A and B are shown apart, each in its own frame.
Chain A
């Protein structure tokens, strides 16, 4: 939409993953960066005991016009950022469409049914194939592995936020991330967060 710098208004972003992966933090980080630029941001999320080890999803609505509902209508996602590959596929079932874009971590978080040998988990190759088939554009990165290299698996969330910034879909300038990170962290943790953001940007922009 003209004037707002958004490709769609409202822009519908889904951040998906598994309970405990840091979904809420990721969506807050992205949402706060956008809200600080004057956008109306609504984040809908579910959490609680029923979500432990289960699928979790945050719905972000970004608009230059007004506040939108905390639930994205079916089939209306513009972008899916997933901390877990099979969760990206699960989200597309209800919210995907031919124009949707996907950025996903490739590191699986196995469901208990798979661990116990009752269900099987698809191969990396199968997942990539299906995501490419169902999305207009797709980026795959091993955010968990990269995060461990930087210092902690939890930085995978920052890498994914960086990747979203790198896709150029939403105005998420590095300076803004740095400013927010400086308020919360210092020393090595700050450096790790900034590195993680940059790694994410590079993985998608490249």
Chain B
């Protein structure tokens, strides 16, 4: 399959939503793109960095989302088209700057793509982008399918230049990570000349100083831009209606919920009774258009993810125009027709329609479903998420967990965001006791570390990954050191942003485009800040535990950097340090007092419990030869020999 930037206009191609967004940006002549990895947004910057050279772009993985937005916006100030990309929690990080950016205004087309994860399919929250559009007073576009993802992204740059302000594009997992048919448009070469003009009349938007003051005047300008956007939205082709002229029920929806709504209407054969108003421009609302459609129906159902955002705004509009459009009966999340948690799907919409329109529906035959559930109970044993065989995190958490339990003061670990978040589960021996935003583990630990005057005597440990360290652990670490908090930070350094696909970060010597970059040494940074710093190998479990005992016993902040590359990293794959074997004569099996510590608790997929023999066994196909399990067995029955083939 050819690369995205090689497809000629008019070509039909199966595109992931994220690829469609990339194509749209390339068709708009984007010159600079910056982001921070986060599911489901990561493929946008990844795909752009792959075409950076032939298309003449600058693409970077920034240290965090706020910096990404800052970096992208400078290109806009210098007259280039620029894109910032993040998952929704990253928008929270970037929001401080966004508040000021939306007030200062932009020059070259400036688009911010934010990806929500309704249902938290790969997140620890289901936070929303849409309320930010209202809060920050910027226009919001929501693609409803793959084709629109391409077209809207391209148009967002135009709109941004028309308004001289940042435009927000919101996508969701089921669009970003789904694929559909897209017809390609014309590519546009990126502008080559960057120049920041700053010496014109101070408040001139194109030649003056770029800033949010004078606040009230700028705020007024910003609201005028928003009103201009509303007028454009009234006739936007991204707002579509399908259905009868005067439907019995009007659905108002956006994003992939439009596809679920269409599916539900089709499943119930209700095309003659239901109309679907799909809004692509959801902030500010195209009020005239919405009112026109509200006037045609008595009953209105709002279908959206996750919170009732459109629902609230449409109800306000309906209240304001009740004289004009009449009184409506509203269905949505507020009165419980649809849930206001989790993701939407066709069945949820069918259930709502089936109640409102009184059409019976049974998608899953009840007798079949009952038997299928029985069969599934017997035939498909649960697959709990676990760390990969040879994952350094399993070894790190084994050392931390056993150190805390041997220490015997009821110590605990504050968790952070990455693959290692799975240590809230048995996969990581349920070691993590708090889990919030990126960097919060160390911030929370910094607070716990100051509670000794209130009688708290438990050891406090926090963990973070190497990418997270740069993203948002530096400020809480400085805070903890400055305030002499008692805590031990363990940096689980696996040489890349592993969870989202090994994107580089400032600790590595390469950037998003594969060019050489200056790497920043984590232990040296921590030392310079004033922490006691140790470096270890997580595969050396006993040594790691000894270091942890030392650090937990001392006052102030201790940092242990555990370095070992991710088992899936390109340099690690197929490389094996040890050949592992269980000495069957030494393994005491069920009669050992360990209660199958190796397979039941440590539970690496490379270590199997052989039921027939009643002994542990190495699965040589799965085992990566990390050697850690040799340190787990209390009787030393798991043997490691230097691997013959490396």
Contacts and interface: CB of A to CB of B under 8 A. Distances in A.
Q: Verify that A and B bind, or say they do not.
A: yes
Given A115-B599, A116-B600, A134-B371, A86 B180 contact: no
A143 to B, nearest CB: 16
Nearest to A33: B14
A97 to B, nearest CB: 6
Contacts of B600: 116-118
- Identify whether the interface residues of B are mostly helix, strand, loop, or mixed: mixed
B180 A42 contact: yes
Contact of A67 (B180, B364, B369): B180
Interface string A29-53: 0011001001111111111111111
Contact of B499 (A49, A54, A75, A133): A49
B237 interface: no
A120 B369 CA distance: 23
Interface string B309-320: 000000000000
B454 interface: no
A49 B381 contact: no
Contacts of B388: 52-53
Contacts, number: 200
B350 A112 contact: no
B117 to A, nearest CB: 9
A89 B378 CA distance: 9
Contacts of B193: none
A48 B39 contact: yes
Given A46-B122, A96-B372, A75 B178 contact: no
Which of A28, A111, A120, A127 gathers the greatest number of chain B CB atoms within 10 Å? A111
Interface stretch (B45-53, B68-76, B603-611): B603-611
Interface in B121-169: 121-122, 145-147
A69 B178 CA distance: 10
A46 B177 contact: yes
A122 interface: yes
Contact of B384 (A47, A89, A94, A112): A112
A133 to B, nearest CB: 7
Contact of A93 (B145, B345, B373, B382): B373
A149 to B, nearest CB: 16
Contacts of A28: 14, 179
Interface stretch (B59-67, B106-114, B258-266, B474-482): B258-266
A188 interface: no
Given A42-B178, A45-B178, A49-B499, A18 B383 contact: yes
Contact of A114 (B14, B175, B381): B381
B256 interface: yes
B365 A98 contact: yes
B174 A70 contact: yes
A73 B14 contact: no
A55 B383 contact: yes
Interface string B608-633: 11010000000100000000000000
A111 B384 contact: yes
B1 interface: yes
A84 to B, nearest CB: 9
Nearest to B144: A67
A43 B14 contact: yes
B177 A120 contact: no
Given A115-B609, A116-B609, A69 B122 contact: no
Given A45-B177, A48-B122, A68 B263 contact: yes
A114 B267 CA distance: 39
Contacts of B619: 115
A112 to B, nearest CB: 5
B376 A89 contact: yes
Given A67-B145, A75-B363, A122-B378, A48 B180 contact: no
B178 A43 contact: yes
A87 to B, nearest CB: 7
B12 A35 contact: yes
A49 B174 contact: no
13 contacts: A43-B180, A44-B174, A44-B178, A47-B122, A67-B145, A86-B380, A89-B375, A93-B380, A97-B365, A112-B384, A116-B600, A117-B600, A127-B379
